[in-house]
Amino acid sequence: MDRLRRTMMFIPGNNPSMITDGHIYGSDSIMFDLEDAVSLKEKDSARFLVYNALKTIDYGDTETVVRVNGLDTPFGRDDFQAMVRAKVDVIRLPKTDTPEEVIEADNLISEIEEKIGLENGTIKLMAAIESPLGILNAYKIATASKRLIAIALGAEDFVTNMKTKRSPEGIELLAARSQILLATRAAGIYALDTVYSDINNDEGLVNEAKLIKQLGFDGKSVIHPRQIDLIHKVYEPTQEEIEHAVRVLHGIKEAEERGSGVIAVDGKMVDGPIVDRAYRVIELAKATGVYEEDDFIG
């Protein structure tokens, strides 16, 4: 895991104050939306606003993402031209149904990078899957480009296409979530869950965050700053998990010093998956400020 993507906050591309201050709320990523959040008559002005923000504002360690309009729209190509030149970290493709859409986007970005002297592969891609066809093509989409770092689920369009609606239990999304997880894990990229739209229902948000964490998602999209800390808390490892992870990592170190390939922690043999989980626990714990390098040593 090269970075945390527990939360990605949506920011309308036509909202200057949110564009300026969106990174101060602590989400791992911020996503400027040029697509659904922006009316047709504001597309050009929103693009210009986001372009200039990316060129002039220091967002620090917060990952910058822009959801562009699709290349099948009159606005998509101009969005790509502007965002690559602004050197956004990630371009998010909306409503991705086929791997060909990812390939087309990759080729266009490569063309723009070459024109402006940017190293090929600098700008990354993320695909949002929002339809049954996209779900069925999830693995092909996940492996269509080396630029692609993540797939995100867009639930509202998906459940509409499935002729249902969202429920508190989320059973209607289980198949889609599972398919995206299988595809992204097989491809070695990130899986991001959909938004929780009821910003006043903290309990519902936390329950859904616990569910998607247990399923295996790396994080969740958010639409309000108050949702960020709630989700981060769900992803925050417990002290028991941290202590066990530290013992695993210490066990690895001691085994290496002895020249032994056999590692046992708490009376149980430790294999590769357990080691990987230990590293992830420590990374999450450091990110949330509940662990420092020397904690629990001794």
3-state secondary structure 157-185: HHHHHCCCCCCCCCHHHHHHHHHHHHHHH
Is the full-model pTM beyond 0.85?
Answer: yes
Q: Kindly give the confidence (pLDDT) of every residue in the chain, 298 residues in length, as a single tens digit, with 9 standing for 90 and above.
A: 478 899 999 999 999 999 999 999 999 999 999 999 999 999 999 999 999 999 999 999 999 999 999 999 999 999 999 999 999 999 999 999 999 999 999 999 999 999 999 999 999 999 999 999 999 999 999 999 999 999 999 999 999 999 999 999 999 999 999 999 999 999 999 999 999 999 999 999 999 999 999 999 999 999 999 999 999 999 999 899 998 898 888 887 777 777 666 677 777 777 778 888 888 888 888 877 788 765 544 3
